[in-house]
Amino acid sequence: MTNPLFDTLLAPHLGSDAPFVIHPDGTTQTYGAFMINVNRAAGALAQCGLRKGDRLALQAEKSVEVLEIYAACLMTGVLFLPLNTGYTAEEIDYFLGDAEAGAFICSPSREAEFAPIAARHNTKLLTLSKSGSGSFSDIARACAPLETAVACGPDDIAALLYTSGTTGRSKGAMLTHANLLSNAEVLVDLWQITQSDRLLHALPVFHAHGLFVAVNTTWLSGSSMIFHPAFNIDNALAALPQASTMMGVPTFYTRLLDDARFGKEVVGNMRLFISGSAPLLAETHAQFEERSGHRILERYGMTETGMNTSNPVAGERRAGTVGHPLPGVTLRITDPATGAAVAQGDIGMIEVAGSNVFQGYWRMPEKTAEELRADGFLITGDLGRIDDEGYVHIVGRSKDLIISGGYNVYPKEVEMVIDDVHWVRESAVIGAPHPDFGEGVVAVVVLVAGAAADMVALTEVISTRLAKFKQPKKIIVTEALPRNTMGKVQKNVLRDLHRDLFARKA
């Protein structure tokens, strides 16, 4: 095989009449039709001057065309760099510059906004609309399709996925062909995904969950997916009777439970509900079983590693746990201060190693060395323990991270934006329990002595500079931030103080 990832996931579908995508209106796209477009998209990448190792950034509404471009990147060795559709121009500026993207595909509605940024970074700017039209599609339609995959080895980088960090500066996680292939193979086997499965796909395709976990396993198994542009409760309820599997963040499950129409009647064909990206409350697990008869399978992953652990399909799916390490993944719990292994059952830092673990952060060797040990174990920043039956429990995080509706928000990044405002002396950003998003972003702000707060201006600054999901849902002005004797802000004190800020829905 010259390109094992492409040859395993995609090449077998050439000419196939089997259904790949089922649109909400019931129309179906076959694998064969999809592959013709993949070859065209690969031809277009070459026509745009992109070669193996170059970076293609993409910020576009979810569509099958996005998947065609992702597949074309795997075929040509061009690094796929998908970006959250909510990112502001300032955020995009950083990604294009840091990745030195050769080309950037954006929505036509934002072309004018991004043109000067792309020009500054010497990045070719192309467009793709949610209906699949745009300058990239024009090139793909006119160019010669690429028929032969470019040779790529297991350690070649397939994708660059940016994740924020505690310093506030996003880091590009380099995922290799071997990372993606090994994870897809393990998951298809473990979750018993077969050609007859039909996945309800309502996740975004710019993150590991919706892209690698959902799409790569679909390709590998030759199964199909009902493809929704986003999670919408009415559409999800209408599609569930035709689906056999669903992958979602906990918010999907709490929204289903909040709807009186959800019950056993709509899940008659369902085989497996999978949850991840954020903690699923044991209470949600129990309520879901009561209403639907299904025990949600919870698994645990990270952008840097893909999936690490999973509850079983056949055995007991234990609420409040993320199951066992996947075959091929070694998971250990260590003392965060010393790195030494803790006693069985004790709480410590979760570290993982295996063929799923990424190669490091793009052009940040020091950051890579801080998190990836010499023996190949990644320090996840998640705190957990392993119980007597080998189930992994995640009990907290050592990293200062908020997970809101499955999206990661690093407080530092938000604090830096707020602290730039001249009348703000300092700020602390925390997550408070939120009935819909799990955690909601809250900013606690201290004013410069004698200054008055201009909340309209502050909100304006935040919304210009930060994607919507990072923006605080509540801003609280306070006299002073609580500090310990070392002068460090006590975020735990703030979290306790504001734990009831987002009252549970009646």
Interface with ligand AMP (CB under 6 A): 163, 208, 276-279, 298, 300-303, 322, 380-382, 394, 397, 403, 408
DSSP label of 361:
B
Binding of ligand MLC at residue 48 (CB under 6 A)? no
| Among residues 77, 165, 276, 411, the one that binds ligand MLC under rule CB under 6 A | 276
Among residues 130 and 412, whose Cβ is nearest to ligand AMP? Answer: 412
Q: Using the minimum distance from each CB to ligand MLC, give the nearer residue, 124 or 397.
A: 397
Q: Which is nearer to ligand AMP, 13 or 171 (CB)?
A: 171
Task: Work out whether 208 is an interface residue with ligand MLC (CB under 6 A).
Answer: yes
Q: How far is CA 186 from the centre of its chain?
A: 19
Separation of alpha carbons 434 and 431, rounded Å? 9
* Sequence letter at residue 305: T
The answer to whether 277 contacts ligand MLC (rule: CB under 6 A) is yes
CB of 110 to ligand MLC, least distance (A): 16
407 binds ligand MLC (CB under 6 A): yes
DSSP string, 426-467: EEEEEEEEETTTEEEEEEEEEEPTT----HHHHHHHHHHHS-
CB of 309 vs ligand AMP, minimal distance in Å:
8
Closest distance to ligand MLC from the beta carbon of 303 (Å): 6
The dihedral over CA atoms of 181, 183, 188, 189, expressed in degrees to the nearest 10, equals 110
Report if residue 209 touches ligand MLC, rule: CB under 6 A. yes
Residue (107 or 163) nearer to ligand AMP, CB: 163
Are 303 and 208 within 8 A, CB to CB? yes
Closest approach of ligand MLC to the CB of residue 469, in Å = 4
Q: How far is the CB of 422 from ligand MLC (least distance, A)?
A: 26
Residue 163 contact, options ligand MLC, ligand AMP, none, Cβ 5-8 Å cut-off depending on partner type: ligand AMP
Site for ligand MLC, residues 301 to 340, rule: CB under 6 A:
301-303
Instruction: Report the half-sphere exposure of 305 (CA within 13 A, side-chain side).
Output: 28
Q: Cβ(234)–Cβ(258) under 8 Å?
A: no
230, 241, 250, 232: which is closest to 292 by C-alpha?
241
Q: Are the beta carbons of 395 and 383 closer than 8 angstroms?
A: yes
| Residue 172: contacted member of ligand MLC, ligand AMP, none (CB under 5 to 8 Å, by partner type) | none
- How far is residue 251's CA from residue 230's CA, in Å, rounded to a whole number? 13
Residue 382, contacted partner among ligand AMP, ligand MLC, none, CB below 5-8 A by kind: ligand AMP
Query: Is residue 478 classed as helix, strand or coil in its secondary structure?
Result: strand
Phi then psi dihedrals of residue 466, to 5 deg: -125, 145
Q: Under a CB-based contact definition with an 8 Å cutoff, are residues 245 and 274 in contact?
A: yes
201 binds ligand MLC (CB under 6 A): no
Task: Find, among 229, 30, 48, 35, the residue nearest to 131 by Cα.
Answer: 229
Nearer Cβ to ligand AMP, position 102 or 165? 165
3-state secondary structure of 96: helix
What residues between 449 and 468 interact with ligand MLC by CB under 6 A? 468
Please identify, using beta-carbon distances, which residue of 124 and 367 lies nearer to ligand AMP. Answer: 367
Beta-bridge mates of residue 299: 310
- Please give the Cα distance from 267 to 264 (Å, whole number): 5
Site membership for ligand MLC, residue 261 (CB under 6 A): no
How far apart are the C-alpha atoms of 191 and 199, rounded to whole Å?
12
For residues 77 and 46, the answer to whether their CB atoms sit within 8 Å is no
Work out what residue 405 binds among ligand MLC, ligand AMP, none; the CB cut-off runs from 5 to 8 Å by kind: ligand MLC
User: For 391, phi and psi rounded to 5 degrees?
Assistant: -75, 135
Rounded least distance, CB 414 to ligand MLC, Å = 12
In the complex, the smallest distance separating the C-beta of residue 160 from ligand MLC, rounded to whole angstroms, is: 15
**Helix ranges restricted to H, 48-134:** 64-76, 89-99, 111-120
Q: Which of residues 66-125 bind ligand MLC (CB under 6 A)?
A: none
Task: Give 485's contacts (C-beta < 8 A, 6+ positions apart).
Answer: none
Closest approach, Cβ 68 to ligand AMP, in A, equals 24
Distance of CA 288 to CAs 237, 267, 436, Å?
A: 14, 12, 15
- Kindly tell me which residue out of 43, 82, 204, 222 binds ligand MLC, with binding defined by CB under 6 A: 204
Tell me how far, at minimum, the Cβ of 407 lies from ligand AMP, in Å. 7
Q: How far is the CB of 318 from ligand AMP (least distance, A)?
A: 12
The piece of 309-317, 402-410, 444-452, 456-464 that touches ligand MLC (CB under 6 A) is 402-410
Residues 417-446 that bind ligand MLC (CB under 6 A): 437
Indicate which single residue of 251, 254, 309, 368 sits in contact with ligand MLC (rule: CB under 6 A): 251
- Nearest distance from C-beta of residue 139 to ligand MLC, angstroms: 29
What is the sign, positive or negative, of the torsion defined by CA atoms of 101, 106, 110, 111? positive
Q: How far apart are CA 472 and CA 218, in angstroms?
A: 36
Residues that bind ligand MLC (CB under 6 A): 203-204, 207-210, 230-231, 249, 251, 276-277, 301-303, 404-407, 437, 468-469
